[in-house]
């Protein structure tokens, strides 16, 4: 405010100066406390601005026919005049206000009565600077947990900004270039440069903004006004006869690096309180300042990163209801943060049950999906003979229990020998050694695992009195692997090594391990191999198959997987 706001008495001896001197300091203290540009008293019949704290060019003008009859101030007076309600409170949305050098201004209005006589309107001018300071945390974005890309802002029903965006405040040149890349027209860019603000100039119509303006709160993943993928929370705010959209968002790339999700919601609480505090502040009474300060203190604690903030409730009036809403919102934010953290941990756990650790880490980091080649691994392909016939005689639940118990025992053995189960399909079991963890003894580990599977199937068949057996095929060679799918994905392996292992697993005998020549060459001398037959493999032609019958009785043969590695 200028020097004119400090003048209490014009010194002309008039009754106006005496009355002005009696009340001016009270209005000025309120305007200074809440950073209001101006407070007006307007005659309800004539529309003349009788009093102004700042004494700008609008002071003394007639809002019916004067130069500012089309302004937001004139509409605020007209709104109060038409209401004639002693408890009326209204608001005029932000627009460029000429007496304030074209800066965006909103107006809060209420009626003034002298006893039962309706005499005037009290109007408070609200600037965008106070809202900007709160929405942008006084430019302390990182300190309040918004990281490098988080921000919150307001948008009006006309899709025009009602607060300044973070990226404009940080780097105007880069911001304008970003808008130009988004094909914003040159006239709009020029207006932003001249006004040095995007408020009431730049349009924004993202998914979150449209949802909030339609009255729906929520959280969504979408592209923001810069065309960047973000995760944002949105909330409608009803102010009188119009709505605003409150948006809090952060770039997805930063969120997926572990930034605290709660920090991007903190400013929502602050922004929601501002309209409510402003509505009640017009009562012009010092007794109302105490609960307002208490709420502001609670908001600042939340903005500083403190959780579990609760404000003491001392009344049952509107301020009591507001405080109760604040406390419920603070508790809700704390509960949502806890739920989000639990969900992140559970998502990571589920991802590792689907993908190997290296593939899971690559997918989470946003790397481009690609296939990997593995030049030398050992593949085991097994089938539980007799299960399909058994399942036809049992109920679905009974067959599931038997298969689940048996596959669970195989999985435990695979983990013991360092072999990775890739998948099961009914009674078939596919496993690979040397894939995620390179191993020089992958062929031996796979054969040891196959022998363990035979022991498991014999023990299981005996204890359950079932006629089940295994056919196992093992082949060593190169494979390819990668994440396949976009909306639903799986870790797939392929190549002739997989196909050959599948082709050689079948045998007329029960509980037989059949291996290819590559396995025989790697392990001869450690196991007893007997040539069985030749098969015509699709990829390589004639292929000699060996039956692995027993371990030789030697120190090497009886060594454990841990000793071999």
One domain, residues 143 and 228: yes
Last residue of a domain, one of 80, 99, 129: 129
Which pLDDT does position 307 carry in this prediction?
65
363 in a structural domain: no
One domain, residues 141 and 123: no
Between CA 189 and CA 124 the distance in angstroms is: 31
Between CA 114 and CA 122 the distance in angstroms is: 13
The predicted-structure confidence for 553-564, as pLDDT tens digits, reads as follows 433 433 334 333
Q: Domain with 210 in it: what CATH number?
A: 3.30.450.20
362 in a structural domain: no
One domain, residues 119 and 148: no
One domain, residues 144 and 123: no
Which pLDDT does position 129 carry in this prediction?
82
Distance of CA 70 to the CA centre of its chain: 43
482 in a structural domain: yes
121 in a structural domain: yes
Question: CA-based angle 34:39:42, to the nearest 5?
Answer: 155
Between CA 108 and CA 331 the distance in angstroms is: 31
One domain, residues 372 and 476: yes
Residue 258 belongs to what domain range?
136-349
One domain, residues 205 and 297: yes
375 in a structural domain: yes
State how many domains the chain has: 3
429 in a structural domain: yes
361 in a structural domain: no
Last residue of a domain, one of 129, 162, 190: 129
Which pLDDT does position 481 carry in this prediction?
86
One domain, residues 171 and 306: yes
One domain, residues 141 and 217: yes
Between CA 441 and CA 364 the distance in angstroms is: 31
The predicted-structure confidence for 47-58, as pLDDT tens digits, reads as follows 999 999 988 999
One domain, residues 218 and 341: yes
Q: Domain with 395 in it: what CATH number?
A: 3.30.70.1230
Which pLDDT does position 260 carry in this prediction?
45
Between CA 285 and CA 292 the distance in angstroms is: 11
Last residue of a domain, one of 95, 129, 163: 129
**Residues comprising the chain, all counted:** 565
Give 475-535 as a DSSP string.
EEEEEEEEEE-SSS-EEEEESHHHHHHHHT---SSSSEEEE-HHHHHHHBTTEEEEEEEEE
One domain, residues 262 and 156: yes
One domain, residues 108 and 174: no
One domain, residues 149 and 258: yes
| Low-confidence stretches of the chain (pLDDT beneath 70) | 1-3, 258-267, 269-291, 293-295, 298, 305, 307-308, 313-316, 318-319, 337-338, 340-370, 539, 550-565
């Amino acid at each position: 405010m200028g020097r004119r706001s400090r003048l209490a008495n014009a010194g002309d001896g008039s009754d106006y100066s005496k009355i002005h001197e009696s009340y001016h300091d009270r209005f000025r203290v309120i305007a200074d406390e809440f950073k209001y540009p101006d407070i007006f008293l307007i005659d309800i019949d004539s529309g003349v601005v009788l009093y102004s704290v700042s004494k700008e060019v609008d002071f003394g003008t007639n809002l019916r026919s004067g130069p500012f009859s089309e302004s937001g101030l004139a509409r605020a007076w007209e709104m109060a005049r038409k209401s004639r309600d002693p408890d009326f409170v209204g608001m005029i949305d932000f627009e460029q206000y000429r007496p304030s050098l074209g800066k965006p201004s909103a107006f809060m209005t209420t009626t003034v009565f002298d006893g039962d006589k309706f005499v005037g309107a009290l109007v408070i001018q609200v600037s965008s600077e106070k809202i900007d300071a709160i929405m942008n945390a006084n430019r302390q974005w990182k300190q309040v947990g918004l990281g490098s890309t988080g921000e919150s802002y307001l948008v009006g029903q006309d899709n025009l900004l009602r607060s300044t965006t973070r990226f404009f405040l940080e780097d105007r040149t880069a911001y304008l270039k970003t808008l130009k890349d988004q094909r914003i027209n040159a006239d709009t860019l020029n207006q932003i440069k001249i006004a040095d603000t995007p408020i009431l100039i730049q349009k924004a119509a993202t998914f979150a903004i449209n949802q909030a303006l339609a009255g729906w709160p929520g959280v969504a993943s979408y592209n923001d006004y810069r065309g960047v993928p973000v995760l944002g929370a949105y909330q409608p705010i009803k102010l009188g006869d119009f709505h605003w959209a409150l948006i809090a968002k952060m770039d997805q790339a930063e969120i997926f690096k572990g930034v605290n999700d709660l920090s991007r919601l903190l400013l929502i609480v602050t922004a929601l309180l501002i309209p409510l505090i402003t509505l009640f502040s017009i009562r012009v009474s010092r007794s109302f300042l105490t609960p307002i300060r208490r709420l502001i203190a609670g908001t600042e604690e939340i903005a500083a990163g403190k959780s579990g903030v609760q404000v003491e409730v001392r009344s049952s009036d509107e301020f009591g209801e507001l405080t109760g809403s604040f406390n419920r919102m603070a508790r809700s934010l704390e509960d949502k943060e806890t739920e989000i953290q639990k969900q992140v941990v559970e998502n990571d756990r589920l991802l590792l049950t689907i993908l190997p650790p290296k593939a899971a880490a690559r997918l989470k980091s946003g790397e481009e999906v690609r296939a990997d080649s593995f030049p030398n691994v050992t593949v085991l392909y097994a089938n539980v003979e007799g299960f399909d016939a058994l399942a036809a005689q049992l109920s679905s639940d009974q067959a599931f229990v038997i298969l689940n118990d048996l596959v669970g025992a195989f999985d435990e053995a695979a983990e013991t020998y360092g072999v990775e189960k890739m998948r099961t399909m009914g009674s078939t079991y596919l496993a690979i050694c040397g894939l995620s963890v390179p191993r020089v003894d992958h062929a031996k580990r796979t054969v040891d695992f196959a022998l363990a599977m035979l022991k498991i199937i014999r023990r299981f068949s005996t204890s359950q009195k079932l006629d089940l057996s295994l056919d196992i095929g093992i082949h060593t060679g190169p494979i390819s692997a990668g994440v396949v799918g976009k909306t639903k994905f799986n870790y797939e392996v392929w190549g002739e090594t997989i196909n050959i292992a599948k082709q050689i697993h079948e045998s007329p005998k029960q509980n037989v391990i059949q291996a290819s020549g590559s396995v025989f060459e790697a392990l001869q001398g450690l196991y007893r191999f007997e040539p069985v037959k030749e098969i015509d493999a699709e990829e390589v032609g004639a292929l000699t198959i060996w039956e692995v019958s027993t371990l030789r009785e030697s120190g090497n043969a009886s060594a454990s997987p841990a000793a071999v590695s």
